[in-house]
Structure 1
């Protein structure tokens, strides 16, 4: 690909390390570049320079059809550019193979990793999706350390009842200051501790938490707030997360109740059109 790429996604650890995902050509035998490498960069990323990304995990261990032109000098494994036969092994799909058929992980995808601490990361892996529906397909939120070893996973999720494939809700975010991970999909909001043990599940089938199904989880702020974006109303909801995850339910309930009140007030003040919020003093250009 032309240009001077660095990474397809970047997350920052508490000490400033860059948790990156980079692409490789030929993943799952496709004739283009697909996210395949998880790596860590310890240097600073600046306009005139970029640090080396040390690869710690791969999704597909044998991308097809690569040549020397597909190597990225700044993405390295064992001191050499990642590519051809040089990448972390065993791959994530190889590590997951014993518990299910290898075919199920063919054409799988990497989600965006989240740093749960300086040296431990949540790496989401999702099996292929189908046009006729993918609920029940395998998925894993793997815990991978900065040396590439799989240390476990975020537990407590059922392939069908908690499937992120319903609505394609694949985001995982982390509060690295307190060592927590969070996931929101159409079925519930989930919270784990640093060891991967499920600490809270707020079921969207209940009346109290049903409104959560209309939101997408986008980030966890440095202050430990979950940032949720409404899928239709174009509003952001901040949810303060208590130190005791056992109190997450009341905190979310209060935030959802406040959201409804403040949304009503905003509707009177801004008079949105089809949930698009327009300020009279701002000139809007349609592109």
Structure 2
């Protein structure tokens, strides 16, 4: 069923900070979507942020109408799109102890097999939250290692998690010294076959790595006993080899794969995953830089890739559209960027491309692809109108074009209905009826 629902700001938060919803983002505030995830029972969760940072306003400003602030917001929707609850967490003006949710970069959502919501962030911070968003069940976190600073390993888990049909956890973890950088960057893909719970943390078995020789490793970097390769903690020379960059070496003579980065992998089946690798980005523009959507099995073998995209004509570097989504129950993968919506089968064959140069699909340039629901629907977020669009995908991917056309037409109608119901200000939606939690 095609659905449209808003990324709504909690009314009390808007009132407390006297947010001027009519103000342009150039005035120093904004709303930004991070991720969306769907549960098997039909519930949908959205993670997004709201902030205000005005030049010239100090940290000691007391007036809530002008003081700087930042929060992460998690909203839960029912299967029919009703806002059920929201949770505010991770205030930017706190010391980290003000929120039970561990803050960090590149935050993502995942609904675990038992219904628990996990929120993960770099470096390897995972927070488990009750499905109704009422409380934090557990938090696994680690200090970010820095050069010449004392390092406390902590109780980290993973920087992102995705779930396979049988309940395996596809994880990404960080390492120190990737490409000789002096901080923690995502570098290892692994699988956990046991459950992640508030009291137990499963072993993640590494199956792939990006940088084969992270620099300056010491015994401190064997920091996570739960991240293992062939029975030993990952670190130093103990890691899957050849690394993905070694397998791709020689394909691109201009830039190579040094300083490349690992995208968030997605499961295409219980034992097959799409692992995206993107070459380095440049300040002056990166369109045409190489990228690979590698097919990697659960033994760490690169069995192929998603075919059919051109490095220049289909570049995800335009607008930095790096997300992939997959439907592992039906063996499909999807990618949306400024040039089109792409769909592949399990063998990596491109089955559909909806070109955004055409009038019917041009509106897709305003959306970001976030995830697939367990029943195979695409979940897109409109970047300016702050709305989630749920797009049913037909059984035959060659019929994807008319299905998306219908979804975009329905989106326009449902958006009009929501405007009458919610009365948004400059596409900012505010709710006052849902249950609000502070985590």
TM range (shorter): over 0.9
Q: What aligned pairs does 1:236-275 form with structure 2 within 5 A after superposition? A: 236-275=388-427
- Among 159, 162, 171, the alignment partner of 1:11 is 162
Task: Give the distance between the partners of 2:155 and 2:188, measured in 1 at CA.
Answer: 17
- Measure how far apart 1:102 and its partner are: 8.2
The residue that corresponds to 2:275 in the other structure is: 123
Segment drifting more, 258-267 vs 175-184:
258-267
Segment drifting more, 265-274 vs 164-173:
265-274
Contact 2:250 2:256 in 1 (8 A): no
The residue that corresponds to 1:175 in the other structure is: 327
Task: Give the distance between the partners of 2:173 and 2:198, measured in 1 at CA.
Answer: 18
Higher Cα Rg, which structure: 2
The residue that corresponds to 1:26 in the other structure is: 177
- Measure how far apart 1:281 and its partner are: 4.7
Task: Give the distance between the partners of 1:169 and 1:136, measured in 2 at CA.
Answer: 13
1:153 paired with 2:280, answer no
Q: 1:281 to 1:172 in 2, by over 3 A?
A: closer
Task: Give the distance between the partners of 1:221 and 1:117, measured in 2 at CA.
Answer: 14
- Among 210, 215, 218, the alignment partner of 1:64 is 215
The residue that corresponds to 1:54 in the other structure is: 205
The residue that corresponds to 2:88 in the other structure is: none
1:137 paired with 2:306, answer no
Task: Give the structure-1-normalised TM-score.
Answer: 0.96
Q: CA offsets, 1:116-171, max 9 Å, x none?
A: 00000000000001111100000000000000000100000000010000010001
- Measure how far apart 1:101 and its partner are: 3.1
Task: Give the distance between the partners of 1:214 and 1:29, measured in 2 at CA.
Answer: 36
Number of equivalent positions: 285
Q: CA offsets, 1:160-219, max 9 Å, x none?
A: 010000010001111001000000001000000000000000000100000001000000
- Among 189, 208, 216, the alignment partner of 2:360 is 208
- Kindly report structure 1 stretches of 4+ aligned residues shifted beyond 2 Å: 101-104, 279-285
- Secondary structure (helix, strand or coil) at the match of 1:123 reads strand
- Secondary structure (helix, strand or coil) at the match of 1:31 reads coil
Task: Give the distance between the partners of 1:143 and 1:262, measured in 2 at CA.
Answer: 37
Q: Which structure features the higher share of helix residues?
A: 1
Task: Give the structure-2-normalised TM-score.
Answer: 0.63
- Among 184, 194, 211, the alignment partner of 2:346 is 194
- Structure 2 stretches of 5 or more lacking a match? 1-142, 144-151
Q: 1:230 to 1:145 in 2, by over 3 A?
A: same
Q: CA offsets, 1:85-140, max 9 Å, x none?
A: 11011100000012123843111110000000000000000000111110000000
The residue that corresponds to 1:95 in the other structure is: 247
